[in-house]
Chains A and B, each alone.
Chain A
Amino acid sequence: MEELIHSGIARYEYRHFIIFGSASQFAAMATECAGDQGAWWEFHDAYLIDARARSFTRAGALELARDEGLDVAQFTQCIDNEEHRDRILQMQQQAIADGARGTPTFLINGRMAARSLDGIIEQVHDAAEAVENQEGG
């Protein structure tokens, strides 16, 4: 997957699909609030790669924001006012409309993809060819 992105064939988008309840709903909102200050990926990695339960709490998220040098006041306001709640809800409904029923679900150019990494890579190459043929034709 990494190769596809670095070679310029594919671009990648992460979209929230909350099925585990308020803990991950909160983490998604915190990540979007961090994204407002350009630290989306730092929060994404903190939740997915460092994976500390603490960051799923409000206090933990504020610490994370401080560590990333963000404007904590703005960050706190963004979380408490749930500024991104509707956007995340929209992604949720779009996910269901696109047929996602569990996580992770991958879509390649809008079409549901296989759940295995190879299946995804194969489908990306097919999609790339399809795009070329259209442009070429």
Chain B
Amino acid sequence: MIRRIIVVVAASALILAACSSNSDVQQTAQVAAEVATQGNEQQQEQAATSYQAGESESTEKVADAEQAARDDSQDRETAERPSNAADQADRPDSAEQTQSTTGEQQATEQAVDTEIDEDPGQQAEFEQEAMVGQIIESGHRAGLFANRNMVGDPDAPIVITEYSDFL
């Protein structure tokens, strides 16, 4: 759920920053997507193991054999849904802009990434652990309920409604 909420916040922030008329929004989304896909090659590892709801083939595997298999599936995945991989790579940067606390954590993670490079599997596991740690720390598990177009406690006193178009 945390991923979804960060996306919602990041996406609305992206739109807030750019939004004067609707067309700008579309350009910014495209620009962000292109930048992310170019950046995708170096972050090959991160995209393959990052937080893909229900993507069972990207579950954690350390052995080299699986490593190669995952790279192929990653290429196929990038070919099939470039935006999706971009969506993953794009998120850490935009999350940095909008949320100071998680931003700092992401910044430190980015700094750490550059140091441990030798074993991508081990480093990806480190990231996964950091991300899970964030979810656990955030008390996220206190019964947050996601139901169709609603996230959060149905009895919450405040309703924040976003009227939006996917284009």
User: Is there direct touching of A and B in the complex, by C-beta distance under 8 Å?
Assistant: yes
**Chain A interface (Cβ within 8 Å of chain B)?**
18-23, 25-26, 29, 51-54, 56-60, 80, 82, 85, 89, 101-104, 115
**Chain B interface (Cβ within 8 Å of chain A)?**
1-3, 49, 51-56, 58-63, 66, 125, 128-133, 135-136, 141, 143-148, 154
13 new A-B contacts, CB < 8 A, other than A29-B59, A53-B132, A115-B145, are A18-B54, A20-B1, A20-B53, A22-B49, A23-B131, A51-B136, A56-B128, A57-B125, A60-B129, A80-B61, A89-B56, A102-B147, A115-B143
Q: List 22 A-B contacts (CB under 8 A).
A: A19-B146, A21-B3, A21-B53, A21-B54, A22-B51, A22-B52, A22-B56, A22-B58, A22-B128, A26-B60, A51-B141, A53-B130, A53-B132, A54-B129, A57-B60, A58-B125, A59-B125, A60-B129, A80-B63, A102-B145, A102-B146, A104-B143
CA distance A34 to B136 in the complex (A): 22
Contact A53 B52 (CB under 8 A): no
CA distance A60 to B145 in the complex (A): 28
Q: Which residues of A contact B49 (CB under 8 A)?
A: 22
Known contacts A26-B60, A57-B60, A104-B143: A20-B128 contact under CB 8 Å:
no
The distance from the CB of B151 to the nearest CB of chain A, in whole angstroms, is 9
CA distance A9 to B53 in the complex (A): 37
Contact B56 A85 (CB under 8 A): yes
Known contacts A20-B1, A20-B53, A23-B132: A82-B145 contact under CB 8 Å:
no
The distance from the CB of A112 to the nearest CB of chain B, in whole angstroms, is 12
Q: Which residues of B contact A18 (CB under 8 A)?
A: 54
Contact A25 B56 (CB under 8 A): yes
The distance from the CB of A121 to the nearest CB of chain B, in whole angstroms, is 16
| Listed residue (B59, B136, B143) with the most chain A CB atoms within 10 angstroms of its CB | B59
CA distance A133 to B116 in the complex (A): 66
Top 7 nearest A-B pairs by Cβ distance?
A53-B133, A102-B145, A53-B132, A21-B53, A101-B147, A102-B146, A56-B132
Q: Which residues of A contact B130 (CB under 8 A)?
A: 53
- Find the A residue at minimum CB distance from B60: A58
Contact B51 A21 (CB under 8 A): yes
Q: Which residues of A contact B146 (CB under 8 A)?
A: 19, 101-102
